[in-house]
Amino acid sequence: MPFDIKNRVKERFLSLINIDTTSDESSDSFPSTQAQEYFAELLASICVEIGLKNVKIDKYCYVSAELEENCDSDEPAIGFISHMDTSPDYSAKEIKPVITENYNGGEIKLKNDIILSPAQFPSLLKYKNQTIISSDGTTLLGADDKAGIAEILTAMQYLLENPDIKHGKIKIAFTPDEEIGRGVDFFDAENFGCDFAYTVDGGEAGELSIETFNAASAKLSFKGKSVHPGEAKGIMINASLLAMEFNNALPSEEIPAKSEGKDGFYHLTDINGSVERAQAEYIIRDFDKNNFENRKKIMYEAAEEINKKYNFKAVEISIKDQYENMYEILKDRKDIFDRAEQAIKAAGAEPVIKPIRGGTDGARLSFMNLPCPNIFTGGHNFHGPYEYIPLESMIKAVKVIVNICRCR
């Protein structure tokens, strides 16, 4: 019986999203949630079941497995990597997928007054007459990145069941805690045993990325002076207002809602406080290294100006680098890019070469001597209730992975 990619990848994906693997930034453990440990064991058992070799879960919960080469030519060892966790930005508990077959180009009405509409999401119109998989509107879907996992596993199974397709050594890995920036904190890139790899963690069909932001996080604490408001003139300093004053010192147009393409930004992700104390957290993003460093400088200077104005240490700031633009490594590896681009074309998709306005494990791995571009899963609108993925895009992703593996 011919290998049915459509039903295999669909069933695999739907079974994986049943498991809530939300990561937790407040946790000090690694992985940050116990559910990811259970999920790792499940993925390892699937790898064994489909016939992969050297299946391991290490002490940090990284799952790895190997497909042995069946090609006589001198082929590179290639890796494929996806992450196990889903974003803590939205609930992934009890995901109930909605499958819309032969999508007609209209609205898809979900629960909680959530509507997938081409008026708001024009990308939907690319997928008329296709099968759209979404959440029911009460959770995210989990295509980021369980679609990637399902696509990798399906591609490996396809190669195992079609030994006439010649390939070199293939390694796969599934990582925890990517969504909270810790995905490869303990990943042993050297012993992974690959010449290069691809993360399967991108968006629309055909997407291929060799650029990411330079990224940092900033944490600020504000200290006020609290006195009775009736006797506060010239004495009270409101810490919450200090947080607002700091934010107002940043360029108002350089925020996510007003940026696109290669625009960088400051993003206030959390703020809370009182008169006496306040805290704020930001992420800082820019593709250009010099602009990125200048953004950090602007934040330090804004904090310093507030401290000078009030003549005491009213604000403390700590900035931590998260990852660098992987283009600095991948710009010199045209062979890796070309291999993926040709594989995308051979799968019947049009390559969409674009920078990632976000992060990927591949950014850090590329600086760990494992060059690692990012290829598509097919998903859209990650991290929220509007998330969806066309089944046909998942099929193309499986074919791209298989094509990348083929002996040249």
- Our CA angle for 145, 397, 103, nearest 5°, is 85
For residue 171, pLDDT over 90 is answered with yes
Instruction: Please state the φ and ψ torsions of residue 230, each to the nearest 5 degrees.
Output: -75, -15
For residue 100, pLDDT over 80 is answered with yes
Listed by start position, the domains of the chain span 5-212+325-405, 215-323
The CATH superfamily assigned to 5-212+325-405 is: Zn peptidases (3.40.630.10)
User: Please, which pLDDT band fits residue 106 given cuts at 50, 70 and 90?
Assistant: very high
Q: What is the pLDDT of residues 316-331, one digit of tens each?
A: 999 999 999 999 999 9
Chain-wide mean pLDDT for the chain? Answer: 96
Q: Tokens 């696109």 label which residue?
A: 260
Average pLDDT over residues 281-298: 97
Say whether 215-323 and 5-212+325-405 share the same fold. Answer: no
Query: In the prediction, which pLDDT does 274 show?
Result: 97
CB 276 within 8 A of CB 220: no
β-strand partners of 265? 285
Strand order in the sheet with 207-209: 53-57, 63-67, 170-175, 78-83, 196-202, 374-376, 207-209, 352-353
178 is catalytic: yes
β-strand partners of 349? none
Q: What share of the chain is helix, strand, coil (3-state, %, to 5)?
A: 35, 25, 45
Selecting among 178, 245, 341, 392, the annotated active-site residue is 178
Helices 143-161 and 391-405 pack at an angle, to 10 degrees, of 50
Average pLDDT over residues 356-365: 88
341 is catalytic: no
For residue 396, pLDDT over 90 is answered with yes
Is cis: bond before 144, omega within 30 of 0?
no
For residue 400, pLDDT over 90 is answered with yes
Q: What is the pLDDT of residues 368-382, one digit of tens each?
A: 999 999 999 999 999
For residue 245, pLDDT over 80 is answered with yes
Neighbours of 91 (CB within 10 A): 16
Q: Tokens 């889903």 label which residue?
A: 86
Selecting among 85, 179, 211, 341, the annotated active-site residue is 85
Average pLDDT over residues 334-359: 94
Can you tell me the distance from the alpha carbon of 295 to that of 148, in angstroms, rounded to the nearest whole number? Answer: 33
User: Please, which pLDDT band fits residue 77 given cuts at 50, 70 and 90?
Assistant: very high
For residue 1, pLDDT over 80 is answered with no
Q: What is the CATH number of domain 215-323?
A: 3.30.70.360
Q: How far apart are the two ends of the chain, measured CA to CA in Å?
A: 27
For residue 73, pLDDT over 80 is answered with no
Q: What is the pLDDT of residues 214-235, one digit of tens each?
A: 999 999 999 999 999 999 999 9
Q: Report the candidate in 160, 262, 329, 304 with the shortest Cα–Cα distance to residue 296.
A: 304
Portion of the chain with pLDDT greater than 90, in percent: 95
CA quadruple 376, 377, 378, 382: dihedral, nearest 10: -100
User: Please, which pLDDT band fits residue 360 given cuts at 50, 70 and 90?
Assistant: confident
Average pLDDT over residues 16-42: 96
CA 28 distance to own-chain centroid: 21
Portion of the chain with pLDDT greater than 70, in percent: 100
Instruction: Please state the φ and ψ torsions of residue 316, each to the nearest 5 degrees.
Output: -120, 140
